[in-house]
Each structure stands twice: as structure tokens, then as C-alpha cells.
Amino acid sequence: AMFAATAATIVSGAVAERVKLSTFMIFSTILVALGYTIAGSWHWGGGWLGGLGGGDAAFYDFAGSTVVHGFGGAAALACVIILGPRKGKYTSEGIKPILGHSMPLAAIGVFLLFFGWFGFNGGSVLSANPGPLGLVFTTTALAAAAGAVTSIFTSIFVLKKPDLSMALNGILAGLVSITAGADSVSPWAAVLMGAIGGVIVVFSILFFDKIKIDDPVGAISVHGTCGIWGTLAVAIFGGANFMSQLIGVVAVYIFAFVFSFVIFFILKLIMGVRVSEEEESEGLDIAEHGAPAYNIT
């Protein structure tokens, strides 16, 4: 149930600040009830991906780098393409940063996610056996730390500053990168997987901005792009079959993208998916909830 909810919450970050609440709630319900259920059953519960190739050649995704995070990332990409960028994000003078209201709160949020990931990955052991559980906790923590460090150094190299938002996404990138193989790779492999994920996420965020895909929190890059890396990395560091991993990635990503694109497009035709320009300007807290988030006089 938590994995299913995660698939929807990934999308919520990518469509933030301009999506209609009512439309998104309906979309989320359909995505979780039908889309995630179908793709998830391909891997878990005796589905065709779980038995792909048989034995050691089967698709392997321990806690959902592809089946959860990749699914959510691909769904988010479809929705963002239909929704379009925030007003004023891409101008004739170039890309205009639209800053979050509180980076300290964003940092707290990421650390809450980091903490929760021990349940996300650790809970996937499905037992309290200290051996497997200890390995998963260790690989999860190391990958997150490595992703943070490499994203910081990458942002220094590319952006000339240790960008905080990139560092926070680096932590999440490391976590997504290890999720598929947290129980099957060594601690040092986890460091490498997380470190590479931390580099990938910086370039992915910059790439999507360059092609004018407006993703306010970097969800497509963190979950979608790093989900691909994390799943394929199990073949490199964990002994899984590379072709099976690749087939699983392609199948889930295409299904999630097409399913989400069709559903979101139908909702656009029926009830619209985006708030008005005036509502977007004054803020969705007022337009959608009837009250400002802050009492500023």
C-alpha cells in the first residue's frame, strides 16, 4: 500500500504549483488503483517479470527502483508534458529560477524521506532477521551518503557552487539507486551505486530544464532517471541478468508513461488539468484551499 501511494506522490512533486487539485486526486486514484497494480503485479505476486528467463536470469527489483520509483517517474513525465511549465519559468532571456519558500524545510523533508527509506527498503526484507536486515540498512545508508557527496561535488564543478537543492536530490538519488539491489550488493558496491546516482541526477535535472520540462522538485530525474540506473546496476554489482533488467525497465516505463498520458489527457478534455493563470499567480493555497499558507502583513 505504501509503495502504491509512493507512485502517486512522486507525480505530485513534478506537477506542483499549477495542477488542479480535483483533477490530480482523480488521476492519483486511477494511477494507484489500476496503473500501479498492473505494473506491480508483473514483478511481485508471480508476474511475468518475476519469472522472466527463470532462476538467476529473472528480473530483480528488491524494493522497487523500477516498479515503484521508475513507474512514478515515467508517470510524472507524461503529466508534465501535458500540463506544461509554470508561468514565467522559461523566458526569452533564458530559464528563470522559481525558488522554494524554505530550503531548511526542504532539507528536513529530505531527511524524513531518508529516515523513511529504512522502512521502505528494510521492510522489504519481510522479516526481522538481523543478517539480511542489517545488510539492507547498511547499503541504504551508504548509498544515500555517497549520493549526497557526489552531487555536491558535481554541482560545484558544473554550477560553481555547492547547490543545496542538488545535494538534497543527491541523497534521494542515492536511495533510489540502491533500492533495487539493497539486499544483494556489498557495502562498497552500494557506495558506488549511490555515488554514480548522485552524479547522474545533477545532469538529468539540468537536461530536463534545458528541454523545458518543468519539474519543480526534480522528481523525474530522482525517481525516473536514477530508477533506471539503480535497476541496471543490480546486473553490474549484484549478479542479475542485464537483459532481464533492461526488459523490465523498458516494459514498466513505457506502460507507466502511456497509461498516465492517456488518463491525464482524458481528464484534461473532461475537466481540465491546470488552474487559471490568475490562480497560479496568487498561489494554489488560496485558489484551491481558500486560505493563504502564511499570514504575511
Number of Cβ within 10 Å of residue 273's Cβ equals: 22
Mean pLDDT calculated for residue range 94-120: 94
Range in 23-27, 263-267, 287-291 with the lowest mean pLDDT: 287-291
3-class secondary-structure state, position 36: helix
**Please, where are the H alpha helices in the chain?**
2-14, 21-30, 37-43, 71-83, 103-122, 130-159, 164-179, 187-210, 219, 226-237, 242-271, 277-282, 284-289
Asked if residues 13 and 216 have their Cβ atoms less than 8 Å apart, the reply is: yes
Confidence class for position 100, pLDDT limits 50, 70, 90:
confident
The pTM score is: 0.96
Cα separation of 7 and 12, whole Å? 9
Cell of 46: 508471480
The pLDDT, as a whole number, for residue 274 is: 97
SS3 readout for 46-104? CCCCCCCCCHHHCCCCCCCHHHHHHHHHHHHHHHHHHHCCCCCCEECCEECCCCCCCHH
- Condensed to tens digits (0 to 9), the pLDDT of residues 143-159 reads 999 999 999 999 999 99
Cα separation of 232 and 179, whole Å? 11
Cα separation of 265 and 236, whole Å? 38
Ramachandran quadrant class, 127 (left: phi over 0; alpha: psi -120 to 50; beta: rest): beta
Confidence class for position 218, pLDDT limits 50, 70, 90:
very high
CA 17 to chain centre: 18
Q: Which residue has the cell 536514477?
A: 226
Which amino acid is it at 124? S
Strand partners, 274: 19
Confidence class for position 52, pLDDT limits 50, 70, 90:
confident
Q: Which of 205, 181, 203, 202 is nearest to 193 (CA)?
A: 181
Mean pLDDT calculated for residue range 190-214: 98
Mean pLDDT calculated for residue range 35-51: 92
Straight-line distance from the first to the last Cα atom of the chain, in angstroms, rounded to the nearest whole number: 42
Average pLDDT, rounded, for the chain: 95
